[in-house]
Amino acid sequence: MYKRDLVSITDYSLEELDDLFRLADDIDNHPRRYNSSCNNLKLATLFYEPSTRTRLSHEAAMIELGGNIIGFSDAKASSASKGETVADTMKVMSCFADIIAVRHNLEGAAYVAAESATVPVINAGDGGHSHPTQTLTDLYTIRKNFGRLDNLKIGFCGDLKYGRTVHSLIEAMLRYENVSFVLISPEELKLPKGLKRQIEEHGAEYEENSDLGEAIRDLDILYMTRIQRERFSDISVYDKVAGVYILDKCKMENAKEKMIVMHPLPRVDEISTEVDNDPRIQFFEQVMCGKKIRRALILDLIERKAETPIKRADEEICINAECTNPKCITHHERGLKRKYKYGKNMDIFCAYCDCKVKEL
């Protein structure tokens, strides 16, 4: 039997996601039944990038299951500052912990962590690439509000280029029937082409509209995001787009009565506090959903095993190629074997960060 990890939201099938939501509900309804489920077990939270919610909700979740926590919240305080690789750190941490949650600034770092650790690994965000536990949080919140995950129109607003929560949620929603997307962003922060291609390949509908006040009218969900200042290589571009979208009372008047507003948080200035008491605002409820679904995820990963290892790369692809993404971990960490996978049309992608590769 093999361990399971959550590197990408697609590591869990739709049936497994349903099981997870039901487990989260059950823990919520009967917390005492589960409060010693993780007795004598340790969760390591290894955060190379800042975090409030994601790290502390994993930790709160583990404590509520009766487990313990160890870890670091700043890479400078770890041996990464001495040049230790992610792969080595994960092998070391596997001696101390029963499960690891890792956040890193490099894309594909969670893949390396999962491949190197001998205990289950949770991707708590890898650069601008993906953030599957936020996606579990988002799906659980949507399911609580609508009782379904299909037949929904979702508007994503803000930083669709670097917003990893957007990337993972789109990937997840594409697996449900009749979900359509409205992409609301300035020109500089449009959704990466690869993801647009994925939407098209799934036959899902999407439109691009840079006007939030107009786009809001027929949405079921408005997913607001922060402009990710730390990911801009040219800060003058950030200055140009900062504050471009602000959700306020006036815009909320155009929205449906049953629409909900989500945000992974932290917010900066993209949602005015004047709308906080509007019942359609759901982002603090979303935080609570995050802790509940992480309780279920930790328990599930500790107990669930796979008969065969999860396939994330096509081992038979042997080409002389480089990933085209400068933020991919393959360009920064020593000793990593290049790994690739086929997309639709037999295009070849980097297995670590999902970017297209260039043959040399």
Report which of 290, 292, 291, 245 is spatially closest to residue 267, judged by C-alpha positions. 245
Q: Is residue 134 close enough to count as binding ligand NCD by CB under 6 A?
A: yes
Report whether 326 contacts 358 (CB < 8 A): no
Residue 141 catalytic? no
Nearer to ligand NCD by C-beta: 3 or 53? 53
Catalytic residue of the set 32, 76, 82, 311? 82
Q: Is residue 264 close enough to count as binding ligand NCD by CB under 6 A?
A: yes
Q: Closest approach of Cβ 125 to ligand NCD, in Å?
A: 5
List 125, 127, 155, 192, residue binding ligand NCD (CB under 6 A): 125
Q: Closest approach of Cβ 250 to ligand NCD, in Å?
A: 24
Nearer to ligand NCD by C-beta: 53 or 339? 53
Catalytic residue of the set 3, 42, 45, 54? 54
Binding mask 200-239 for ligand NCD (x = CB under 6 A): --------------------------x-x-----------
Please tell me whether residue 111 adopts helix, strand or coil conformation: helix
Q: Is residue 145 close enough to count as binding ligand NCD by CB under 6 A?
A: no
Report which of 298, 184, 288, 193 is spatially closest to residue 241, judged by C-alpha positions. 184
Residue 341 catalytic? no
DSSP 149: S
User: Tokens at residue 100, please?
Assistant: 């690891």
Nearer to ligand NCD by C-beta: 180 or 185? 185
Q: Cα torsion at 109, 112, 118, 123 (round to 10°)?
A: 30
Residue 135 catalytic? no
Half-sphere exposure of 96 (CA within 13 A, CB side): 14
Q: Alpha-carbon distance 28 to 289, whole Å?
A: 10
Q: Would you mind telling me the total number of residues written for the chain in this entry?
A: 360
**Which residues form the interface with ligand NCD (CB under 6 A)?**
53-54, 125, 131, 134, 164-165, 226, 228, 264-265
